Structure 1
Amino acid sequence: MPRFFFDIREGTSFTPDEIGLDFDSIDVAEREAAIAAAEIGRDRLPVSDDRVVTVEVKNEHRQRVLTITISLEVDRVVPAPTDPKGAS
């Protein structure tokens, strides 16, 4: 079973995967990387100044085979719209 490594980038922070995980195929590794990126994004992006999380998946030879990127963009309307009914 092939081994895949999931290196994580959050802004300027980089966390290499030194252990890796075994998956039946690159398709399964891709799905797991997408889940991991989504979970990191859900937990960290709304409260962090860094708004991009990247998971780089590497094969057993440490060659990059795919990249998953999750980003959060906040676009506030300024000034905020007022309630036409006068409620706050």
Structure 2
Amino acid sequence: MPRFFFDIREGARFVKGEEGLEFPNLDSAEREAAESAASIGRDLLPKGDAREVTVEVSNERRQRVLTVSVSMRLDRVHPYPARHGG
């Protein structure tokens, strides 16, 4: 099975995937990258640690074959609306 490497960018932080994982095809690696990006984003983005998480997938020759990004945008309403009623 082909081996794919997953490098992760969280804002300014970069984590290089050293060992890689084996998947039967690129579609399977893509699903894993999407699930990983979503999971990392779910944990980090609401805390304000990063506004975007990117998973870069490379093949066995370390050539990038896929990039998955998850981002969050927060827009607060100013001034904060007053409560009406009770």
Partner of 1:21: 21
1:12 is matched with 12
Report % sequence identity. 60
Question: How many residues are paired up?
Answer: 86
Is 1:48 the counterpart of 2:45? The answer is no
* Deviation of 1:35 (Å): 0.1
* Residue matched to 2:81: 81
CA distance in 1, matches of 2:49, 2:39: 17
Structure 1 runs of 4+ with >4 Å offset:
none
What is the CA-CA distance between 1:80 and the residue it aligns to?
0.9
Which structure 1 segments of 5+ residues have no match?
A: none
Structure 1 residue 48: Cα displacement: 2.7
Which position in structure 2 is the counterpart of 1:32? 32
Alignment partners' CA distance in 1, 2:13 and 2:78: 31
Structure-1 separation of matches of 2:49 and 2:38? 17
TM-score between the two structures when normalised by the length of structure 1? 0.93
